[in-house]
A and B are shown apart, each in its own frame.
Chain A
Amino acid sequence: MDICGEREPTPVNLSVTHTVLVSIMKTEASVSGPNMQPLLKVENLVKRYAKRTLAGTGTDLLALDTVSFTIFSGTTLAVVGESGSGKSTLALCVACLESPTTGTIWFEGKNIVKLGERARRQVRQQIQLIFQDPASSLNPRWSVLEILVEPLILEGKCNREEMRQRANSLLERVGLSQNIVERLPTELSGGQRQRLAIARALALEPKLLILDEALSALDCSVQAQVANLLMELQNSLGMTYLYITHDLAMAAHLADEIAVMNRGRIVEQGLTGKILKQPEHETTRQLLSAVPEMLRAAQPELEK
């Protein structure tokens, strides 16, 4: 799918925008059927950063302000917002890498906020994070094999041959060739690196993948390939995604549900179709108007 045509941007009528966005939307699934378990449930999450100045305490920065949402197993929730809206803080809190100031995070029915260090480490393995910039999220001194095997070493019981086999099957799963196992990340392309980051995350067989702007650093065609890879993985492995982005178009493509964030708050939340068809909040409308190019590519008849 070519989502970025090289045509000149022209002003887009907002009402047309909606219909087009809806047309490229992920086929709508019933996200909250009676037999589905919520994998992740976030309740009233607050994260406050104390600002220190020379004079003493300044005003605190409220990165997350009573954020609540639920993700069901096997679905995708996109959190969309401008930069500085608290999306990445949310990712870090859910991944157990930052402790929220108040609030609870239920993961598989367990409150993971209150856990001790050892238990947190175990939970972290279940929730993997993919970062925006694959160049810096991969250890630059390790070969592809070492990067892939690193989470496995922790588990202990693997011998050398098994590790190599696991690495190979992980590479195959994300569509990378097996001859790159000896290479260093610096010798790979951006798309290959992001695929590698995904493979590394999959090595621990996590239940939830947090994609923190995971596609934003890639160029358009690679972005589409990796997006397709993510959808394939969801179909075959039943992965659950928390997709954090500023790109509403890609969110529409990938997500079952969308939550729109502004200044640390979720201002609007609902099924993708509903958010696109009937945006209620000003932030959502602004984000919608920011995606003209891709629509025009998706719907060539707009040209006429």
Chain B
Amino acid sequence: MMRYLVRRLGHAVFLLAGVSILAFLFTALAPGDYFDEMRLNPQIAPETVAALRAQYGFDRPLTVRYASWLNSVFHGEMGFSFAYNGPVAPLLLVRARNTLLLTITSTLLAWAIALPLGVWSAERLGRLPDRLLSWGTAALLVIPDLALALGLLVFAVRSGWFPTGGMASVDFETLSPFNKIRDLALHMILPVMALVLSALPLLVRQVRASVAEVLNAPFLLAAVGHGIPRRTLLYRYALPAAANPLISLFGFSIGALLSGSLLIEVVMSWPGLGPLLLEAILARDLYVVVGGILFSTLFLVVGNLLADLLLYWADPRIRTESGAR
């Protein structure tokens, strides 16, 4: 187990290093930088711009800049944001926390709905309720995330039931702790709903297919023959047997929800990584872009690592193969 974990962590570090180099390279290769707009401003002397560029190391070769950026990563700064005039890391951390709040809640909620719904559907395979559900998920699948988010926003505005943007009300700081949580939850409803609805159809269909496949296995028939109640059978026998592809999907679903989240955050003005990254790209705020990409990758890697550990824990055959028994 330890060896497996160490190997996986090694992979993760390797991957992050690679992604950081690529992100750095591509953003640096893109034409223009943060100071280009100053150059067009007749009130700023070209010498000032050149001095600023020199100050932030834009005149030095790419490798040197990467090395000094890497150095600042180890000092917990992750470079300097020109637009916010401060180190990148604290900026990203707050935003990442907000994004994670959204993503984790949506992931858990989506799976909590998808598992029973998929099992329920698989149990009735080919019958009317199952076919209706399949049509429903197919319909949901073809609606683009953006349309879904906008539709929800329109609904929120028309009904006035939910706040339509942001993460907190104006008077948030004056609220009691309980009301703070309530306010936050109220603001989360719309973006979480959008994320869950966009992730749900795929998950339900996958759960349904995996469970339907094992429902025909002789060992399940044998278990029925042992007089095991239906509910136990579905959740203790069929679901674990169907779990492997689902656990892998779980890792992917974290990543998918994260990238979906960036879009939804922008549309619903949720102060997460999404709007920050968009602004940074538009302003060519180099180190914020690199940092944002790195954080997204980190989430993805951690999600997949989590899935692999879950797999290891859930399937004794994998444990045996990796020689840990």
Q: What's the dominant secondary structure at chain B's contact region?
A: helix
Tell me the nearest residue of chain B to A155, going by C-beta: B227
Rounded to whole angstroms, the CA-CA distance of A154 and B232 in the bound complex is 10
Residue A127 at the chain B interface, CB threshold 8 Å: yes
Residue B217 at the chain A interface, CB threshold 8 Å: yes
CB distance from A293 to the nearest CB of B (A): 29
B225 touches A127 (CB 8 A): yes
B241 touches A141 (CB 8 A): yes
Tell me the nearest residue of chain A to B230, going by C-beta: A117
Rounded to whole angstroms, the CA-CA distance of A151 and B233 in the bound complex is 12
Interface size class of A (residues with CB under 8 A): 20 to 34
Q: Which of A182-216 contact B (CB under 8 A)?
A: 184, 186-187, 197, 200, 204
* A-B interface contact total, Cβ < 8 Å: 70
Rounded to whole angstroms, the CA-CA distance of A154 and B315 in the bound complex is 23
B227 touches A125 (CB 8 A): yes
A136 touches B226 (CB 8 A): no
Residue B175 at the chain A interface, CB threshold 8 Å: no
Residue in B227, B241, B316, B320 whose beta carbon sits within 8 Å of that of A124 in the complex:
B227
Q: Which of B286-325 contact A (CB under 8 A)?
A: 314-317, 320
B226 touches A150 (CB 8 A): yes
CB distance from A222 to the nearest CB of B (A): 19
Residue B56 at the chain A interface, CB threshold 8 Å: no
Chain B residues with CB under 8 A of A95: 225
A151 touches B226 (CB 8 A): yes
Interface residue count on the B side (C-beta < 8 Å): 21
A129 touches B317 (CB 8 A): no
Residue A65 at the chain B interface, CB threshold 8 Å: no
Residue A97 at the chain B interface, CB threshold 8 Å: yes
B219 touches A122 (CB 8 A): no
Residue A111 at the chain B interface, CB threshold 8 Å: no
Q: Which of A97-128 contact B (CB under 8 A)?
A: 97, 117, 121-122, 124-125, 127-128
Rounded to whole angstroms, the CA-CA distance of A124 and B230 in the bound complex is 13
Q: A137-B219, A137-B222 are in contact. Are A154 and B228 (CB under 8 A)?
A: yes
Chain B residues with CB under 8 A of A96: 225
Chain A residues with CB under 8 A of B221: 92, 97, 129, 131, 137
Rounded to whole angstroms, the CA-CA distance of A63 and B97 in the bound complex is 61
Q: A133-B218, A137-B218, A137-B219 are in contact. Are A128 and B225 (CB under 8 A)?
A: yes
A187 touches B320 (CB 8 A): yes
Residues of chain A having any CB pair with chain B under 8 Å = 92, 95-97, 117, 121-122, 124-125, 127-129, 131, 133, 136-143, 150-151, 154, 184, 186-187, 197, 200, 204
Nearest 5 pairs of A and B residues by beta carbon: A137-B218, A121-B227, A125-B227, A124-B227, A131-B218
